[in-house]
Amino acid sequence: MSTDEESGGGNYVGNVEAADIGVIVGYFVVVMGFGIWSSLKNRGTVGGYFLAGRSMNFILIGASLFASNIGSGHFIGLAGSGAASGIGIAVFELNAIFVLMILGWVFVPVYIASGVFTMPEYLRLRFGGQRIRVYLAVLALLLSVFTKVAADLFAGAIFINQALGWDIYLSIIVLLIIAALFTIVGGLTAVIWTDFIQTIIMIIGAFWLMIASFIEIGGGYSTVTSKFMTSVSNHTFWCETPELYPGLNCSASSSKSCGYPPASSLHLIRPADDPDLPWPGVFFGLTISSVWYWCSDQVIVQRALSAKNLSHAKAGTVLAGWLKILPLWILVLPGMISRILYPDDVACTDPDLCQEICGSSTGCTNIAYPLLVIRLMPVGARGLMLAVMMSALMSSLTSIFNSSSTIFTMDIWTRFRTDAKDMELMVVGRCFVLVMVGVGVAWIPIVQNFSELFHYIQSVTSYLAPPICAVYVLAVLWSRTNEMGAFYSLMVGLVVGLIRFIWESVYGQVPCGEETSAPDIITKVHYLHFGIMLFGIVLIVCMVVSEGYNRMNPGFIWRLTFWTRHNKEERKEREGPSEVTVDHTHAKENKGFEDDDDDLPVWRTALNWCCGIEKQPELTDDQKKELAQQTIDSMSLYEDPRWYWMCNVAAVILMTVGVFLWAFFN
């Protein structure tokens, strides 16, 4: 840990100098100022606030997809898992390369052609009724608050505590307030532009630290592989298969090796009975969860839907796929190097010692990345990396806040207020961000009680995501799927997933070396394997129930499936009061603002500006026709032939590189 004596003196705040704090403050001033400036042209309308006016190019989309996914949880979680068990955790990143291509070439064309704002809205159009849309909207909000926000807050708390020594609660609350304020004021345009800046900062800072880490150990990847397997704490006394670890003093009285890296640490593809990442679960179970996340999660899809056209959306997913190669090098390998450099801290095994080092008796691999930042980075650069970590947290939170407010406003609020005007929707969307802030703050004490948070989140995903993934896949690819099949399969999947989740939670985790009383169905069926089985159950139920009911009129699903995405006929509307929707297309975005008085009080004018509520001028007939045409154009799947082939070739090259990486690190 840095001290005045080690650095030659200086003014310190926690474990960093005052100069580092100045870098952090300056960074946030610049980023927030630029983000608010960029949002001014799209703030006054629902489409501008929620979908950035559908005007983003592929560079911004790719950067935003990457930044929205890579949060402080990845810096802590990926590096920590790399320190604990090697490069295997990188499968979550490399798998995304292929799923992103599925997003760009299969799902996004359907979403664009359907003209939807949100994923639950797509299911309402696809199946009719409201119960599936409302169910998924509520579930998405719960998952956002209790997994995404929770993970980022927990990871951010670890880094802030290690780096600054600040009070965790105060630090998290300040970050939440800044993120919520930025989302409320800016909308999606500000979020996407900020994501772009933060992505550049994250990559530069992480590359700097990666290079510094390799220099510190005096070698490259081969040096890491040769030293990692023997990097253990001096307090480690458990051994298993000591012949794999020459030179270590192993106690013959124990058969457990809680302090040693697994024998498969240097492989991506591991045995089917591997306790962490079995290969069937990685290839199939992880893909199911990834399709749910990348192809149906509002936070991700919303960025693709903000593209200028389909070609920019595809190119954005390709760029994001290239960026997903980076975490293996800039996060996982530095985590492994941190264990090599600081084994007594990162690889501690004694519960009391671990509690003293990092405040957790179950292990301290989560501090792998913060230790590198604090001990290797010079003054100023250390502040930049702290800003990177905080910007990663901010990026994830702003993305979640914006997308969740979109879901709540468009899918839940409009169910109660079917005649809601644009101003009301924009105010409600921003106020809901404040609600999420409150829930996030209240959830902080609960988050701190979790250990192995990364695997916890992945297991929860495997229990809840497969049913949603199955329904979206069938909705897009199988025209026969109907509302009854989708709803009942979702209910069956929810019940089965909750039974496994609750059953497993009853037994909880036990310290390494102790026996658990959980049955084999819990201990021997990996959560990724369970996800495969759950996906299959839901798929079968949905298909059987759908076949048991009359076929729907084909006109109801035009441009709502992959096979009908190019259909030009007018889609038939379902009848009945439950089918009433609120149309908030561009052609209506100039309506609904009740404040026609030009002499508003100063406080009201300021409030309206902060909320993006700006009185729109009365449109002429020609302008109305132009806006109507823009709405039609935004649903077009036309691609310039040159862009079409460039995107296809780039996707093939990217997937080829992905296959090579899987083979090289096998």
The tokens for 348 are 């501690």
**Average pLDDT taken over every residue of the chain:** 76
Question: SS3 of 581, please?
Answer: coil
* pLDDT value for 508: 63
- Residue 579 pLDDT: 41
| Interval 516-534: pLDDT, tens | 677 778 878 889 999 999 9
Strands (E) across 315-469 are located at none
Q: What angle do CA 537, 541, 543 make, to 5 degrees?
A: 120
Q: Does residue 413 register a pLDDT over 70?
A: yes
Q: Tokens 């794999």 identify what position?
A: 244
**Residue of 89 and 551 predicted with greater confidence:** 89
Whether residue 567 is predicted with pLDDT greater than 80 in this model: the reply is yes
Does residue 580 have a pLDDT over 50? no
Could you give the count of Cα atoms lying within 13 Å of 582 in the half-sphere of its Cβ?
22
**pLDDT, greater one: 196 or 248:** 196
Give the pLDDT confidence score for residue 258 in this predicted structure: 64
Highest mean predicted confidence (pLDDT) among 105-119, 428-442, 604-618, 641-655 = 641-655
**Least confident stretch, 39-43, 102-106, 458-462:** 39-43
CA 390 – CA 188 distance, rounded (Å): 19
Task: Give mean pLDDT, residues 263-271.
Answer: 89
Whole-number pLDDT of residue 358: 74
Instruction: Look at residue 51 in the predicted model and tell me its pLDDT.
Output: 45
The pLDDT of residue 628 is above 60 = no
Average confidence (pLDDT) over 328-353: 88
Q: pLDDT band for 336, please (50, 70, 90 cuts).
A: very high
**What are the CB-based long-range contacts (under 8 Å, 24+) for 359-367?**
359/161, 360/451, 362/451, 362/452, 362/509, 362/511, 363/84, 363/451, 365/80, 365/81, 365/83, 365/84, 365/335, 365/339, 366/76, 366/77, 366/80, 366/155, 366/158, 367/80, 367/158, 367/162
Q: How far apart are CA 351 and CA 514, in angstroms?
A: 14
* Per-residue pLDDT tens over the stretch 159-205: 777 766 666 666 677 666 666 665 555 544 555 566 666 667 777 88
Whole-number pLDDT of residue 38? 55
Confidence class of residue 588 from pLDDT cuts 50, 70 and 90?
very low
Q: Residue-wise over 541-556: b if at least 16 C-beta within 10 A, else e?
A: bbbebbeeeeebeeeb
pLDDT score, position 646: 93
Residue 406: count of CB within 10 angstroms of its CB? 26
More confident site: 52 or 600: 600
Which pLDDT value is given to residue 252?
38
Percent of the chain with pLDDT over 70: 68
pLDDT attached to residue 477: 94
Task: Please report which confidence band the pLDDT of residue 583 belongs to, taking 50, 70 and 90 as the band edges.
Answer: very low
Please choose, from the candidates 116, 173, 104, 280, the residue with its C-alpha nearest in 3D space to the C-alpha of residue 644.
Answer: 104
pLDDT for 416-465, tens place per residue?
777 777 677 777 877 887 777 777 667 666 666 555 567 777 888 898 88
Higher pLDDT, 475 or 444: 475
Q: Which domains does the chain have, with CATH numbers?
A: 19-584+636-664 (1.20.1730.10)
Average pLDDT over residues 228-239: 72
514 versus 207: which is more confidently predicted? 207
**What pLDDT band is residue 379 in, cutting at 50, 70 and 90?**
confident
Ranges 336-340, 359-363, 438-442, 599-603, most confident: 336-340
pLDDT the model gives residue 187: 47
Helix residue ranges per DSSP H, 570-637 = 602-610, 621-634
| Predicted pLDDT at 629 | 53
Which is more confident, 89 or 631? 89
Percent share of the chain, pLDDT over 90: 22
Tens-place pLDDT, residues 144-157: 777 777 677 777 77
Q: Is pLDDT of 8 > 50?
A: no
3-state helix, strand, coil split of the chain in percent (to 5) is: 70, 0, 30
Determine the pLDDT at residue 200: 75
Over residues 581-597, mean pLDDT = 43
Q: Answer yes or no: is pLDDT of 213 > 80.
A: yes
